Amino acid sequence: MSDTTATAVDPALGPDLTPARLAPYIQHTKIDPDATRDAMVAHAREAVTHGFNAAMVPASWIPVVAAELSGTGVEVASALDFPTVGVMTSAGKAAEAAEIARLGATQLDIGVQVGWLKSGRYDDFREDIAGVVRAFGGPVKVMLELPLLTDAEKDAAVDLAMEAGVAFLKNASSGQIETANPSSVRYLVERARDGVRVKASGAIKTYPQAVELLRAGAALLGTSAGLAIITDTGDASTVSY
């Protein structure tokens, strides 16, 4: 474990965490491949109306969403080397990160080279992430795909990602890899150095589940079920992130 650790639980959570109070911790996600311009505009406006932390959208829709969110205080987030992680070259990933920043994104989630890590290519694994951090210039979150790693590989991945300068550690890229759970969140929180926070993602569908993850120490939640969570309807059959 590192010498210093991130704050485990946001003191602002308090004992009375009603559904609506979860909105500032949620990155409202829409990555549907058939989403239209109207749908993306509506998504951005939902993020503003309900006070979500960010609107997470594909890079191709950043200009539209960024225009809608300008001056609102809601972040513009996007993802890179996703949904199939670890398939881009490091140079290509860095170039795309720079373009995503230019288009107006203020936060970026990225896939990592799991195969390189498992092959012992630690320096390459670290530099792949560091290149994105340098090119993007804003907070970068790494999707570590924890269920695919051994315990030793998990420890190495976390340490290498932090050495590369990431702002957030994530348990996984989606529910196809892992359903976000308190155990994975606590593991990342315990290993995180000061200033590095944890984002939980993967089939986060309900208000009770979201509360459990925040209580475990997650600073952000990535989900396309944000509206269901903050209204506690439990209607999240279309969760995709």
* Catalytic-role residue among 93, 141, 154, 199: 199
Q: Which of 110, 112, 166 is nearest to 139 (CA)?
A: 166
pLDDT of residue 234: 58
Active site residue 109: yes
pLDDT of residue 9: 54
* Contact between residue 164 and residue 126 where contact means Cβ atoms under 8 Å apart: yes
* Catalytic-role residue among 93, 154, 170, 205: 170
For the chain, what are the domain ranges?
21-231
Active site residue 199: yes
* Catalytic-role residue among 30, 81, 93, 109: 109
What stretches in the chain show pLDDT beneath 50? Answer: 1-8, 235-241
Record the tokens describing residue 12, joined without a space: 């602002």
DSSP codes, 88-113: S-HHHHHHHHHHHHHHT-SEEEEE--
**Span 115-151, pLDDT tens digits:** 999 999 999 999 999 999 999 999 999 999 999 999 9
- CA dist 228 and 30 (Å) reads 14
Q: Which of 46, 82, 77 is nearest to 62 (CA)?
A: 77
Active site residue 205: no
Topology classification of domain 21-231: TIM Barrel (3.20.20)
